Amino acid sequence: MGEELMNPEEEFTASEEEQIDDSWKMRTLVIGGLVGLLTGLGAAYLLTKRAEQRGAALSITPGKGLQLGMLLTGLLRSVLSLGEE
C-alpha cells in the first residue's frame, strides 16, 4: 500500500533527460577534438614550412619545448576557467 506507481511518461522523461545530458557532452568532446586536431595540423604545417624556407631541418630546443609546454598549460587553465563564472 505504501508503494507509489511510477507514471511511465515520467520514466521516459528521465531517460530523455539523460540522453540530452549525454548529447552535449559528446558534442563538446567532438568539437574540442576537431579544434585540437586542426590547430595541431596547422601548427605542424607552419613549422615545417618555415623550416623548408630556411633550408634546415626542424629542430626545437629543450628550452623552446618547455616554453611551448608552459604556454599550452596557461591556455588550458584559461579554457577551464571559462565555466567558473
30: in domain: yes
- pTM listed for this prediction: 0.61
25: in domain: yes
72: in domain: yes
pLDDT given at position 16: 66
31: in domain: yes
- Please write the tens of the pLDDT for every residue from 2-40: 555 555 555 556 566 666 677 888 998 999 999 999 999
- Please write the tens of the pLDDT for every residue from 62-72: 999 999 999 99
**Does pLDDT of 78 surpass 60?**
yes
Structural domain span for residue 73? 8-81
3: in domain: no
pLDDT given at position 82: 86
61: in domain: yes
Number of domains observed in the structure of the chain: 1
pLDDT given at position 3: 52
74: in domain: yes
Residue 11 CA: distances (Å) to CA of 1, 2, 20, 21, 74: 21, 19, 14, 15, 44
